[in-house]
Amino acid sequence: MLRLLLLLPENRDAGLLQWRISILRSIQLATLTLGALTMIAHTQFPIPDQTLILVADALALVCLAALTFAPQLSHQIRAWLFLFLIYFFWFWMFSQVDVVSIIYLLSVPVFAAMLVSLRAGIIMLTLACIGLFVMGLTYSPDIVIGAAEAMSPLQTWSMMVVNFAFCASLLTLACGVLINRLELALALRRQAEERSRELTQHMQQMEKLQAVGTLASGVAHDFNNILTIIMSLTEAVKDQHPAPAATKQLDQVLLASERGRDIVRQMLMFSRQSLSGRELIDLNNVLTQMEPLLRAQLPAGARLQVCIEDASTPCWINANASEIQQVLMNLTSNAVLALTPDRQAAADAQITISVAALNPDDALLTKLSLDSNKSYASVTVHDNGVGIPPAVISRLFEPFFTTREPGEGTGLGLASSHGIISALGGGINVTSEVGIGSDFRFVLPLAAPTDVVTETDAASPTTTSPRPIDQLPILLVDDEPLILGTARAILEHMGYPVTAVSSAADARAALAEQEFALVITDFSMPGENGVSLIRHARALQPDIPVILVSGLGQIDELDDDTAANRLVMLPKPYKKQDLLNAIERLL
């Protein structure tokens, strides 16, 4: 009810200006209403020059009404006109009712501080003191205040002006400081709400991408199984030496399968799963080595500038060099697309890639929900191309989303880049302005000082000589019958003795009956996964080598000790030669 009465803003997030506009309108409407009632009251009392006073009151109300309801006036103009209307109306009131009218004058600097600014309040306070002093000497030179009968008119009015200035200053300063603090509080709250909104949007986007990533991971697993069967059977048919025309068609089947494998691997990268091992790499060195290849992507007329903040000091990160190279290629390719033919014709068409240490206080860490206690490196890919609309930015990292023409892109480049950076413990952010350009900025955690060792410090792993393959069979485990059959055929064709089972339970039974030279097991199986089976096998044969096959990508259950002890990861889909190479590495 009070808000309706005062016409305060309904929006709790309204800025200070909107509050001032509402307060001014409330004061104007209240002045119109109360002024009309006051004018009516004047008609009930015998006042000298009553007609003249009523005409002046009516004229002031008409001016105030015009000022209140004039739609084309800005708040600043409306507020200043209102202040001067009160100011000049006071001159008229002073000439008629003398000292009593000072109450009108007192409201002028207070309203100025409230409706415009503290500086405006000080200006109007100065004008009020000058006006009071001049009008007092002009109209009431013989006024006597209290016991100061011996004081001259100048002394009398000087004392009155000083007291007026004192009281008015306190009220003006109090109002002005209150409004300024309110403005500061509103600004801080707006900043906090904006930061909270950005964090919420980021978390929602991360949850959305995580959900899509989970779906992509499951789809990738099924596709990898299918592609493994297709590639294995195709190679088996090729081994039978069909006619040249059939061989050519089989090669096309293999080529299409390999393209499908590449797409699935990008999906796994988006879902933050990868079989690629991490090692200490120098980010500066990776970018330097990539520069010629990145420069080759540029269209004619465009320039590439590489800026490394401290090229003399290595920027060590725990990552896989090929994945970082893929991220740089994807982001540079995206920047090249932003350089449309019109932009390429411009003399300043340029892509800039910069590497620098990230300031711990950088707001980007909070925006990306990263640990500010860690040290990070920042890589920025900037282009002065056409820019990206906000509606597109919100979907950039969704898999299969692309703004290219059909057939020109898969929509997995930025999605896989996001997955790689996130899997490495970093984050990526995009800022863009249409017609100006874009910045793709990703951050990666720097390697801990204890992780950075020289080659002479690194210990060489010890291995145990395997048993001769002709004495013991290979244990092959996979729940997919077609994959199990084709893999068994490949191994037997190469002369390896094989025991093939379709579940971890059957594998445990086989391990209990005899020793094996090698275990080849799928990771994802009903009941018990491959990692658990490996631990059981090594409890029986501590030195047994293992090939762990997976279509899922990164395997969190695989601890460092297990992975380092004569184990080879074989990603699906694999070709016959991939399987044989893995066996040769272990045997």
For residue 556, the SS3 value is coil
| Exposure of 218 in the CB half-sphere (CA atoms within 13 A) | 5
167: which residues sit within 8 A by CB, 6+ positions away? Answer: 106
Q: Note the Cα 466 to chain centre separation in Å.
A: 51
6 — pLDDT class (breaks 50, 70, 90): very low
- Residue 479 sits at φ, ψ, to 5 deg, of -85, -10
Does position 395 have pLDDT exceeding 50, yes or no? yes
What pLDDT is attached to residue 55?
A: 80
Does position 457 have pLDDT exceeding 60, yes or no? no
98: which residues sit within 8 A by CB, 6+ positions away? Answer: 139, 140, 143
* Token pair belonging to 396: 């950039």
What pLDDT is attached to residue 197?
A: 78
Does position 5 have pLDDT exceeding 70, yes or no? no
For residue 557, the SS3 value is coil
* Token pair belonging to 186: 């509103």
The length of the chain in residues reads 587
DSSP state of 98: G
Contact 167, 106 (CB under 8 A): yes
Minimal CA–CA distance to 140: which of 152, 129, 153? 153
Rg from Cα positions in the chain: 40
Q: Which one of 3.40.1390.10, 3.40.50.1400, 3.30.565.10, 3.30.70.20 gives the CATH number of domain 279-449?
A: 3.30.565.10
Q: How far apart are CA 33 and CA 28, in angstroms?
A: 9
pTM over 0.85: no
Helical packing angle, 102-115 and 16-42, nearest 10°: 160
User: In what helix (H) or strand (E) does residue 438 lie, and over which residues does it extend?
Assistant: strand 437-445
Contact 336, 328 (CB under 8 A): no
Q: Which of 183-197, 231-245, 401-415 has the lowest mean pLDDT?
A: 401-415
β 316-319/303-308 pair status: unpaired
What average pLDDT does range 192-196 have in this prediction? 79
What pLDDT is attached to residue 505?
A: 92
Does position 322 have pLDDT exceeding 60, yes or no? yes
What pLDDT is attached to residue 3?
A: 42
What pLDDT is attached to residue 555?
A: 60
Q: What CATH fold (topology level) applies to the domain 474-586?
A: Rossmann fold (3.40.50)
Q: How far apart are CA 76 and CA 74, in angstroms?
A: 6
- Model confidence pLDDT, tens digit, residues 21-73: 888 888 888 888 888 887 787 677 666 666 777 787 788 888 888 888 887 88
168 — pLDDT class (breaks 50, 70, 90): confident
For residue 430, the SS3 value is strand
- Model confidence pLDDT, tens digit, residues 10-20: 444 456 788 78
What pLDDT is attached to residue 11?
A: 43
59: which residues sit within 8 A by CB, 6+ positions away? Answer: none
Does position 162 have pLDDT exceeding 60, yes or no? yes
Residue whose tokens read 């002028």: 108
Greatest alpha-carbon pair distance for the chain in Å reads: 132
Minimal CA–CA distance to 276: which of 422, 490, 420, 382? 420
- Model confidence pLDDT, tens digit, residues 533-558: 999 999 999 889 999 998 766 565 55
Contact 275, 578 (CB under 8 A): no
- Model confidence pLDDT, tens digit, residues 67-122: 888 878 888 888 898 888 888 887 777 766 656 677 778 888 888 888 888 888 88
Residue ranges per structural domain of the chain: 2-196, 204-270, 279-449, 474-586
- Model confidence pLDDT, tens digit, residues 561-578: 555 568 888 888 888 888
- Model confidence pLDDT, tens digit, residues 409-438: 666 778 888 888 988 889 999 999 998 999
- Model confidence pLDDT, tens digit, residues 475-492: 999 988 888 988 998 898
